[in-house]
């Protein structure tokens, strides 16, 4: 009975896709159930990307690892920035970091996972909303045509049939497995994946086996109580019932760190080294990121307390990166400082619109750089007030050459 319902869902969806494609529609098709929501983005009847509020980053990471492992971007999702994945893929293709085929593979895999997860729901339904902003600006070489979408839907239908035939109906592939007792010999090779940190999708990718086969193998252990199931948070953002991040989550992270971590996103190594000379002696750690596309995974992992960002980089648009970071809930309270050789009223206005907290010229001036860092972080990291007190006493400004000596005197 359940399989019949699921197939009916997919048939209705196929009909909807045919109509959207024939009419060349641009907008968002929202898929709903009582526990999950997904969105399919269309431009002129072609599929751009699919998202789901459950494990958006995990799903993106799996697709990238499978289809184009040279990219390791794991940018935290944003409720306001809907298509950051597509834009990153587009930039990667433009800079010849991945091929069109690889990028399209990412989109198709994500679409398949989202659809498989949604179509398992009994109350699966969908609704359409037109969006004129999606009408142009999206090259069709990266979008999925109707025939490609229908092929993915057919593959999902086959997976659903296999899932039901294996009696896996109520097993959610987004769940992680935790071993409660020593691993039986038959599963000793999989023990590393049974620690509650790997979903069924993740395990399938790592050992290169169909997810249906893996889930079927684990069912006996689940029934015996040797394995427990749990829902994991996404890679970078905790999962909540309303999919929001508490406003104090970032500040809690900051308070547990004794010394500030500052990231520099700039394709020039010279700029990163200049910031290290200025900031390291006053107690800051500096993380230098030369490739803004690949390096965003480091931003997500290390969660710096402040970010210096260049505007003109060969592999990314600084304004777009700034807006991504500003809109990501996990970095809502993280100051992004534009550090650039461009200094016009237009640039400053664009930077402000993108969410930048401040604007500095290159090359970085020691006094102004420290003033900006102190302005945004001194209340959280008292070590930065050392320089503040010295400046108020009209002592000589620290230069990169005498920073260490001056700091030692103050202590």
Confidence of residue 408 (pLDDT cuts 50, 70, 90): very low
b/e burial code for range 4-26 (CB count within 10 A of at least 16 → b)? eebeebbeebbeebeebbeeebb
Nearest to 337 by CA among 351, 319, 353, 358: 358
DSSP label of 345: H
Q: What percent of the chain has pLDDT over 90?
A: 31
Q: What is the pTM of this model?
A: 0.57
Lowest average pLDDT, out of 52-61, 140-149, 398-407, goes to: 398-407
Structure letter (DSSP) for residue 356: -
Q: Give residue 294's Cα distance to chain centre.
A: 12
User: Residue range 95-110: average pLDDT?
Assistant: 90
Q: Tokens at residue 80, please?
A: 């306001």
How far is Cα 187 from Cα 165, in angstroms, rounded to an integer? 23
- For every residue of 266-298, DSSP letters joined together read -S-HHHHHHHHHHHGGGT-EEEEES-TTTTHHH
> What is the rounded CA–CA span in Å between residue 144 and residue 138?
11
SS3 call for 348: helix
Least confident of 2-6, 209-213, 270-274, 372-376: 2-6
């Amino acid at each position: 009975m359940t399989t019949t319902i699921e197939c009916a869902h997919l048939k209705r969806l196929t009909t909807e896709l045919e109509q959207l494609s024939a009419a060349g529609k641009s907008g968002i098709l929202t898929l709903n159930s009582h526990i999950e929501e997904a969105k399919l983005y269309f431009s002129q009847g072609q599929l751009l990307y699919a998202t789901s509020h459950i494990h958006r980053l995990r799903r993106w990471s799996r697709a990238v690892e499978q289809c184009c492992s040279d990219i390791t971007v794991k940018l935290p999702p944003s409720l306001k920035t809907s298509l950051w994945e597509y834009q990153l893929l587009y930039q990667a293709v433009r800079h010849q970091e991945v091929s069109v085929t690889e990028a399209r593979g990412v989109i198709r895999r994500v679409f398949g996972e989202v659809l498989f997860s949604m179509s398992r729901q009994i109350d699966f339904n969908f609704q359409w909303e037109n969006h004129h902003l999606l009408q142009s600006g999206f090259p069709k070489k990266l979008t999925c045509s109707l025939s490609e979408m229908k092929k993915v839907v057919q593959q999902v239908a086959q997976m659903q049939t296999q899932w039901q035939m294996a009696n896996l109906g109520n097993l959610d592939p987004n769940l992680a497995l935790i071993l409660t007792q020593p691993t039986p010999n038959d599963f000793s090779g999989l023990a590393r994946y049974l620690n509650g940190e790997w979903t069924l999708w993740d395990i399938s990718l790592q050992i290169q086996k169909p997810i249906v086969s893996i889930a079927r193998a684990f069912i006996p252990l689940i029934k015996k109580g040797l394995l427990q199931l749990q829902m994991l948070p996404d890679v970078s953002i905790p999962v909540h019932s309303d999919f929001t991040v508490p406003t104090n989550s970032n500040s809690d992270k900051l308070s547990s760190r004794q010394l500030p971590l500052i990231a520099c996103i700039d394709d020039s190594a010279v700029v990163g080294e200049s910031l290290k000379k200025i900031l390291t002696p006053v107690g800051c750690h500096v993380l230098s990121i030369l490739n803004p596309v690949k390096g965003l995974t480091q931003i997500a992992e290390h969660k710096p307390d402040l970010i210096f960002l260049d505007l003109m980089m060969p592999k990314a648009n600084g304004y777009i990166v700034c807006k991504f970071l500003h809109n990501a809930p996990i970095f809502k309270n993280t100051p992004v400082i534009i550090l650039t050789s461009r200094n016009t009223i237009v640039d400053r206005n664009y930077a402000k619109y993108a969410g930048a907290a401040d604007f500095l010229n290159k090359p970085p001036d020691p006094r102004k750089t420290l003033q900006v860092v102190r302005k945004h972080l001194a209340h959280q990291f008292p070590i930065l007030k050392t320089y503040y007190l010295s400046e108020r006493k009209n002592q000589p400004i620290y230069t990169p050459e005498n920073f260490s000596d001056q700091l030692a005197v103050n202590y």
